[in-house]
Structure 1
Amino acid sequence: MMHQLMEGWEVEISEGQRIPLSWYLSEGQTLMDSVTEMEPDGDVRLAQIKEAFRAFEFEGKIHSEVQDMVIELVTDTCRFLSDYNGYIYKADVSETPYFAHYNPTNDILIHAVKPVFEKVRTRDGFRDAIKLGWIGDAFKWQNFKVKPSLLGFKTNGLEIPLDLYITSHALRRLNERINITPGIMHEILVNTFLQYEIAHSFKGNESLVTYRVSDLKVGYFVVRLHEQQLVVHTFLFLTNNHTPEGEKLNRLLNLELADKEYLEIDNLPDFNAYHIDQNEKLSKVFSDAGCASLLKLGHLQAFSVNEINDKDPESILKYLADAKYFTSN
């Protein structure tokens, strides 16, 4: 996978001249190591060669830029492989020759931690859940706590951050309704609850926490407070019932849950397959319902776990032909 992700990455070795990163890390690095070991001993041409390669030395700017590229590359690789339902990965490149200059080995160490599911007591019974967390800088599992007030819950006296649990049901719904690479979804999930201000709306006794992909709203996590712990019970796609946008869509088009399921507009992969952004009438109604963000996420089809064939947006218009929204406009 790392080699696949490396495709298209290039290193600028001089103004206007670039070579593939894969070449630089293999043949290029071997050549530079060889030049480093050379002793000119008065040979003018060898001295000129060493001088020409000075820009690529361990302390040089190009070397530093390539180090950043390598870190980004292995981080992306671990992100693509990670999954809360399997293992979370983090790479250590510090002992490779590109970071430890004279280390004879060239091993990237991959640390893997399997999240532990626990039985968590809620008012609705026990639920399988994991604590909000990720692998930390020390390559060990790190749990994170969240202040209830950041999610809209009222607290008395001194507020103490609480453990936040994510149920297996919430992870399953996230996978079904967004269905892009798990590691990407789950890392965004963690970052959602680590913000200084967490976007949410409070409804009844639960908090709807905004979930964004590519900085665009795609849905909500439903969070409830159970004594001294916060629990993410489920994930709602933006068009689903019980979201502000989904309820408005129901009112505009007189929709029921069964209609959304039949039309397959209740999850991101199927929604994207309609290419609604290219249909003026449908773009307007979804924008009026507050779902305009979904029209800008077509690029996520490339990250969908399950490939879905394109759908005909006219089929939606035909099904909703009698809706007052369309007949009165």
Structure 2
Amino acid sequence: MRRQTLHKEIVGIQELESFDAFQYFEKRLSRVLETHLFESSPVHLLSQEEKQLIFGLLWYVRSPKRAPENAISDSDLKSIGEEYHQIIHKFRISHEGKEIALLDYNILAAFYHVLYHGIKSRKRTRYLKENFAIPILEGASLLKSVPNMYTACFFMLISRLNDIRKQCYSFKMLHSDGQGNLNMTLTPVLSIYWARQESMMIHRAFRSVYKVPNPQISSGINWLKISKEKLESHYSGNKSELNLYIQTHALNQIQERLDIFDQQALNDILSFSLRHIKAFEIYKGNLLLPILVCHIKVGYLVCDIIDDRLVARTFRFITQNKTPVGDSLLENHIHSKFGITYCPIDKLRLLFKVEDEVVLNLYYDAGVEDVFCLKNYNLIIDAMQEANYKEFLSYIKQGEEAELNVTSVNREDLNLQDYSLVKLLGLLILNTIGLIVAQVMKMFYSLASTFKGLGKQNADLNEKFDKRRIIGLSNAKLLLRNELDVVHAKSEKYEEQVS
């Protein structure tokens, strides 16, 4: 009896919350239509049933979930969820010449979809189209683009958080419908992988390097590979693609030279530049990889090829020597008729402080004018990522294509560090038990051989023991090959997204 009463109370609360969410939606729908259609948009012409249809088509973003058997912590999930909701609440896109929030675009897209595809009566459809003055071009459903917009925003967040020296995140955005009070939900399912640090012999000394991940919209981790063609004459080996590594020194130099950015912004700058490698620059025998901020070149990673691996050894700011602009700048100072003393500037903050018109002209002539334009930009992480939003959308498609080919991924790149703590403990226990059994069996065979002289039986037992070891190793390998299953969680409330 108590159970039935509790069930009724829960259902009652859910209905009340759903009612509150719908009331909020009605108010926001009115504001969206007035802003993006006409100032006096006749919202009152929509019936309650039609509003319910619009409400039911809204995409709802749930809190991130942990991929099965992954080691990401609850605190990480909570923190990432909070940051994600901040992004989707603040983020704006351009629609028909106006800025619009993602939630408002979601509502507008659902409104258009209902008017073109959700009302059975043609007469009613024609009446509403005329009164709302809906453009004919809006007949194509905008609703299909909404999931990718929310996914792009989550990828923007991952781009901030992926630190080559610490961790890399990958995620899969699950789509579901027919759950709870809302028909369509998006759930990010998140995994964490620790940084891959190695020691590499470079110029007769062992140096610390990090393997560069290539995060995509997938349930696993991939590593960034550079095609042989982009390296031109610098590589004549047999591999068609080379893994990219970054030396610790290069990461330190990026942080020091691009000193106006915090760590999240630097993560995003590096991630964007490495995802969009169009070509290397060959200068004075050096292989230079451009680093971009808002599509403006600010420096280079200087790369070497070592044992079929591409290694970014250091970072040179765009005005430093041994770069095209830096050497041109030095030449301009040497031949300047004003007798200006050359003072090399190797940090972005110092460069922005240059105000003397004569010196500025020398920098402009050398090709640094674009970098000075960054002074007029709002160089915070949100603005930078909004400028790159189209690239995030295009990268989602690449990730989806990569996921289709996941079975052809070279598994040798995934070692024990890519598995969860639970799996590692399981393997450790399995190996320990195997060692104990091996020792006991060894003692048994030794005693049998000494006291009974059963040579033939010893041989048979040894054969059985070898088979058990093979089976044990096979089980361990099977454990490593278990696929991760993504599951759906129960739906949360709509007002959490819009609060």
Match of 1:296 in 2: 373
Equivalent residue number for residue 329 of structure 2: 249
* Of 233-242 and 15-24, the range deviating more from structure 2: 15-24
Q: 2:102 aligns with which of 21, 39, 56?
A: 21
User: Quick check: 1:218–1:293 contact (8 Å CA) kept in 2?
Assistant: no
Instruction: Say which SS state the counterpart of residue 133 (structure 1) adopts.
Output: coil
Per the alignment, do residues 272 and 106 of structure 1 end up closer, same or farther by CA in structure 2, a change over 3 Å counting? Answer: same
Displacement of 1:223 in angstroms is 0.9
| 1:287 CA displacement | 1.8
Aligned equivalents of 2:308, 2:99: Cα separation in 1? 56
Please state if 1:224 is matched with 2:301. Answer: no
Deviation at residue 71 of structure 1 after TM alignment: 2.0
Which of 92, 115, 125 is matched with 1:9 structurally? 92
Task: Give the residue type in structure 2 aligned to 1:191.
Answer: R
Question: Does the 8 Å CA contact 2:226/2:242 hold for their aligned counterparts?
Answer: yes
The one of 342, 351, 362 equivalent to 1:285 is 362
Q: Does residue 201 of the first structure (1) align with residue 251 of the second (2)?
A: no
Give the corresponding residue for 2:274.
190
- Equivalent of 1:79, from 159, 163, 166? 159
Q: Secondary structure at the match of 2:164?
A: coil
* 1:131/1:146 CA distance change after superposition, 3 Å: same
DSSP 3-state at the match of 1:224: strand
- Write the distance in 2 (CA, Å) between the matches of 1:268 and 1:252: 20
Equivalent position amino acid for 1:285 in 2: L
Provide the rounded CA distance (Å) in 2 between the counterparts of 1:273 and 1:73: 34
Partner of residue 253, structure 2: 173
The alignment status of 1:150 with 2:230, answered yes or no, reads yes
Structure 2 residue matching 1:108: 3-state secondary structure: strand
Separation in structure 2 between the aligned mates of residue 256 and residue 298 of structure 1, nearest angstrom: 24
Instruction: From the superposition, tell whether residues 218 and 160 of structure 1 become closer, same or farther in structure 2 (CA, over 3 Å).
Output: same
Q: Is the 8 A contact 1:91 1:110 kept in 2?
A: yes
Taking a change above 3 Å as real, the CA distance of residues 228 and 105 of structure 1, as seen in their structure-2 partners, is closer
Query: In the TM superposition, what whole-angstrom CA distance separates every residue of 1:30-89 from its partner, at most 9, and x where no partner exists?
Result: x9xxxxxxxx9xxxx9xx99xx9xxxxxx9713223223212222222222322223233
Q: Give unpaired runs (5+ residues) of structure 2.
A: 1-82, 112-119, 132-138, 335-339, 383-499
User: Which deviations, in whole Å up to 9, do the C-alpha atoms of 1:80-135 show, x marking residues without a partner?
Assistant: 23222232334433235599998787643233332211111212411111223322
**1:164 counterpart = 2:248:** no
Question: For residue 198 of structure 1, what is the amino acid of its counterpart?
Answer: F
Which stretch shows the higher mean deviation, 281-290 or 139-148? 139-148
Percent of aligned pairs with the same residue?
21
Distance 1:117 1:242 in 2: 28
1:227/1:284 Cα in 2 relative to 1: closer, same or farther (>3 Å)? same
Structure 2 counterpart of 1:321: none
Q: Could you say if the C-alpha distance between residues 115 and 98 of structure 1 is closer, same or farther in structure 2, counting changes exceeding 3 Å?
A: farther
The Cα shift of 1:147 comes to: 4.5
Report if the CA contact (8 A) 1:164-1:229 is conserved.
yes
Q: 1:251 to 1:77 in 2, by over 3 A?
A: same
Q: Report the CA distance shift for 1:167/1:11 in structure 2 as closer, same or farther (over 3 A).
A: closer
Which residue of 118, 138, 154 corresponds with 2:198? 118
Question: Relative contact order (C-alpha < 8 Å, sep 6+): which is higher?
Answer: 2
Q: 1:234 deviation in Å?
A: 0.4
Structure 2 contact 106–143 (Cα < 8 Å) conserved:
no
Give yes or no for contact 1:97–1:106 (8 Å, CA) kept in 2: no
1:138 matched residue in structure 2:
218
Greater per-residue helix proportion: 2
Distance 1:147 1:202, change over 3 A: farther
Q: Distance in 2 between matches of 1:303 and 1:223?
A: 29
Q: Is the 8 A contact 2:299 2:315 kept in 1?
A: yes
Paired residue secondary structure (2:150): helix
Question: Larger radius of gyration, structure 1 or 2?
Answer: 2
Q: How does 1:65-104 map to 2 (within 5 A)?
A: 65-95=145-175, 97=177
Give the whole-Å Cα distance in 1 for the aligned partners of 2:302 and 2:150: 37
Counterpart contact for 1:11–1:24, Cα < 8 Å: no
Once the two structures are TM-superposed, the CA of residue 247 in structure 1 deviates from its matched residue by 2.5
SS of equivalent to 1:141: coil
Cα distance per residue 1:271-308 (max 9 Å; x no partner): 2344x5xx642331002223223122224552379xxx
Aligned partners of 1:17 and 1:216: how far apart in 2?
26
Other structure's SS at 1:93 match:
strand
TM-score with structure 1 length normalisation? 0.66
* Contact 1:151/1:200, CA 8 A, preserved across alignment: no
Q: SS of 2:175's equivalent? A: coil
- SS for the counterpart of 1:143 is coil
Alignment correspondent of 1:309: none
- CA pair 241-201 structure 1, distance change in 2 beyond 3 A: closer
* Structure 1 residue ranges without an equivalent (≥5): 32-39, 53-58, 306-329
- Structure 1 counterpart of 2:210, one-letter code: I
The two structures have a TM-score, normalised by structure 2, of: 0.46
Q: Secondary structure at the match of 1:136?
A: coil
* More strand as a share of residues: 1
In the other structure, the counterpart of 1:35 is none
Note the C-alpha offset of 1:240. Answer: 1.3
Q: Contact (CA 8 Å) 2:208, 2:248: kept in 1 or not?
A: yes
How many residue pairs get matched?
281
What amino acid is aligned across from residue 88 of structure 1 in structure 2? Answer: C
